[in-house]
Amino acid sequence: MNKNIKLEVRNITKIFGKDPQKVISLLNKGLSKNEIFEKTKQTIGLNNVNFEVYDGEIFVIMGLSGSGKSTLLRCLNRLIEPTGGDILIDGKNITDMDPQELRSARRNKIGMVFQNFALLPHRSVLDNVAYGLEIQGIPKEERYSQALEAIETVGLKGHEHSRITQLSGGMKQRVGLARALANDPDILLMDEAFSALDPLIRGDMQDELLALEDRVQKTIIFVSHDLDEALKIGDRIALMKDGEVVQIGTPEEILTEPADSYVSKFVAGVDRSKILVAESVMKRPEPLVPINSGPRVAIQLMKDHGISSIYVVEGKNRRLKGILMIGDALEALKTGKSLEAVMIPDIPRVAPDLPLNEVIPLIAESQYPLAVVNDSGKLLGIIVRGSVLGALAISGEIGQDEIPDGKASEERDSGENIPEEKPPEKMVLIGKNEGEAGPPPAGSGSPGSIINNGIDSGPVPVEAEAKNEAPAKAPARSDAMPGPEVKTC
C-alpha cells in the first residue's frame, strides 16, 4: 500500500430532517445527538466527519448500531446526499458532480457490495455478475468476458450457470462481490458484507478478501460492527460514535493507544496476541558488527555497550548472519579465526508480521532472542521474552504480576533488551575459556568490564576472564550468569 490519497472526506455532515440548519446551530451550542433529537425530532447521521483513505488500503468503518457507518458509506457514492462537506475521489469533488458525471463515477470508480446480496434470484450467476455492465449497454460478449473474470476472481468458476436460488449464503456473497468487481472499480464499498454469513464461512471470506486485495489492489472501505473482523482485515480503522469519528488508526494503535474510554471499552477483551505482531515488540538491534570486521572490533563494541553478545550482519542491507558471543570473540582473537568461523549462524528468525501468539511459543523454546528479519534477510530488530510479556501486559492481556520479577516494565522503559532467563549454552563456554584466553590485545585498550545484564548478577569483568582469573564473587560457572548473558542490543 502506498500513501497516495485515493479518497478524502472533508467536514461531512448529514442531518436527517427538515431543518438541518437548526440542528447545526444546536450542535454548535454543544447539545448531544440525543438532546437534539428530543428537541427537534431530527437525527444527526454524521457530524463533521473527516478522514482520508489511501490507495490500495482496506479502511474499516466500525461502531455500534446507529453510530452512522452505513450513512457514511452511502454518502461516499451519494446514495445518501450529505447535508454539507466535500468528498474527493482522486482529487475530484463527488459532491459537485451533476447526475451524469456521478453515474459515470459510480460505474467506473466505485463498486458497492451490500449486506443482503441484492441479487436477482431468477437470473444465473453470470447474468447477475454482468448486470451492472448490461445496464451500461456493454455488448454481451464483452460483458460476459468481464463477468467471467470476476467470477473466477471470487472463486466461483464453474458456477456461472447456476441459479441464485441454488447457492449457499457464502456463494451468494461471492456473487455480490463479483458483481461489484466486474466493472473493475478503483474503490469497493462494502457494508457489513459478511455479517449474514456463519462464522466459519465469514472467516473464509475475510481471508479471501485479503488475498484478493493482494492480487488486485483495490481501495476497500468496509463497514463492520465486528471488532475482530475490523482488526483482522483493516489496514486502518475509523471508530464511530453518534455520527462522529472518535479515532482513526491502525489496529495496533486502536488497541494500544485508545483515544478515550469509549474506545477502551470497545476494544476490551480483544485477544491482543493475535493482533500485535513481531514488529510491534521488537527492539532496535544496536550495535551490530559487520561480518568482515575483526574480533577486536566486535569486542570493543561489546565493551562500549556493556553487552556480551552481538549480532553479525553483512553489507549495507544488514543481512543477518548470526550472533557472536564474547567468549567466542576472545577465542577468535587468540586463534586468528574470523567472526564468521566463531559466530552462531543458526539463530531463530521471524517475519515482522508474525502475530505474537505465534511468536510466544518460539521465544519460549529459544535460547537466544528472536531475530526479526524481512524477506531479504535484513535484520530489523530483535525480540526478547520480556518485551512480549511487557507488550501484552501494557495492553491488559496479562497482569504485571505475571511478568517474571516485574522486569519487563523496567526494560521497556529503558528501551534495553531483556535478557533471556536461561543462560545459553554458549555463554557457559565463556567459563571454559577462562583458562585459555590471553590478555587483551595491545592496541585494543583494556576491555574493561562487560556488564552482564544489569539485573540478575553483577558485572562479569572480562579482564578476569581474559587473565584466567575467576571474577570476584563469581559463583560456580553454571550459576555464574543466571541470567541472560545474552544481553544483545
Q: Which of 20, 45, 170, 431 binds ligand ATP (CB under 6 A)?
A: 45
Give CA–CA dist 273/391, Å, rounded: 9
Q: Which of 12, 15, 56, 68 binds ligand ATP (CB under 6 A)?
A: 68
- Stretch in the footprint of Mg ion (CB under 5 A) among 64-72, 125-133, 209-217, 360-368: 64-72
Single out the segment in contact with Mg ion by CB under 5 A; choices: 37-45, 70-78, 137-145, 150-158: 70-78
Binders of ligand ATP: how many residues, by CB under 6 A? 12
How crowded is residue 476: how many other Cβ atoms within 10 Å of its Cβ?
Answer: 7
With cell 474503490, the residue in question is 187
DSSP class of residue 66 equals T
Residue 70 lies near Mg ion (rule: CB under 5 A):
yes
Residue 385: contacted member of ligand ATP, Mg ion, none (CB under 5 to 8 Å, by partner type): none
Regarding 224 and contact with Mg ion (CB under 5 A), the answer is no
The reply to whether 43 sits near ligand ATP by the rule CB under 6 A is: yes
Q: Closest Cα partner for 448 from 309, 338, 328, 305?
A: 305
| 77: number of Cβ within 10 Å | 20
Question: Grid coordinates standing for 34?
Answer: 440525543
- Choose, by CB under 6 A, the member of 67, 83, 183, 395 that binds ligand ATP: 67
Q: Does residue 65 belong to the site contacting ligand ATP (CB under 6 A)?
A: yes
The dihedral region occupied by 337, where left means phi > 0, alpha psi between -120 and 50, and beta the remainder, is beta
Grid cell 470476476 is found at 150
Beta strands in 64-165 (DSSP E): 84-89, 92-93, 110-113
- Grid cell 502475530 — which residue? 355
Query: Quick check: 208 and 34 in contact, CB under 8 A?
Result: no
| 8 Å CB contact between 247 and 256 | no
Give min distance, CB of 155 to ligand ATP, in A: 27
Tracing cell 515488540 back to the chain, one arrives at 281
Alpha-carbon gap, residue 126 to 144, rounded angstroms? 7
Smallest gap from Cβ 26 to ligand ATP, in A, equals: 16
Of 45 and 322, CB closest to ligand ATP: 45
Using rule CB under 6 A, residue 224 touches ligand ATP: no
Contact flag: residue 81 with ligand ATP (CB under 6 A): no
- Binding flag, residue 285, ligand ATP (CB under 6 A): no
Q: Which part of the chain contacts ligand ATP (CB under 6 A), choosing from 58-66, 199-207, 380-388, 474-482?
A: 58-66
Q: Considering the rule CB under 6 A, would residue 63 count as an interface residue with ligand ATP?
A: yes
Binding site for Mg ion (CB under 5 A): 70
Binding site for ligand ATP (CB under 6 A): 16, 43, 45, 63, 65-71, 225
